[in-house]
Amino acid sequence: AQSVAQPEDQVNVAEGNPLTVKCTYSVSGNPYLFWYVQYPNRGLQFLLKYITGDNLVKGSYGFEAEFNKSQTSFHLKKPSALVSDSALYFCAVRGNTGGFKTIFGAGTRLFVKA
């Protein structure tokens, strides 16, 4: 069975500073990993994914994530945070069989202060 852990309920960062939102995962076989963002009263929007290849993947809005197989982590990063990045961020993992369901972490709320 696959699972995802986001150890921080909330991350606070000042505008212009780098941000990291943490994620660890557990899955049998090759991990397919995703980050999504949710703004208030909206659906989830895809940010980036790791399927194979380079461990550093780049996505929308300047976000990137680093896949670390030995630590089973997939942390989301951005070099310089914007106030508009404030939102709820979900890490997700997909299995390789059955209905290919995607399992989401509990979410991390990011606050970027001006």
Does the footprint of another protein cover residue 51 (CB under 8 A)? Answer: yes
Pick from 1, 53, 70, 98 the residue near another protein by CB under 8 A: 98
**14/106 with CB nearer another protein:** 106
Q: Are 80 and 17 in contact (CB under 8 A)?
A: yes
How many Å is the maximal CA-CA distance in the chain? 45
Which segment (12-20, 63-71, 75-83, 103-111) binds another protein by CB under 8 A?
103-111
Q: Which pair of tokens denotes residue 62? A: 């300047």
Sequence-ordered list of residues with C-beta below 8 angstroms from that of 5, at least 6 positions apart, any chain = 23, 24, 25, 105, 106
Does the footprint of another protein cover residue 58 (CB under 8 A)? Answer: no
Q: What share of the chain is helix, strand, coil (3-state, %, to 5)?
A: 5, 50, 45
Does the footprint of another protein cover residue 34 (CB under 8 A)? Answer: yes
Does the footprint of another protein cover residue 53 (CB under 8 A)? Answer: no
Residues forming contacts to another protein in the complex (CB under 8 A) are 32, 34, 36, 42-46, 49, 51, 88, 90, 94-96, 98-107
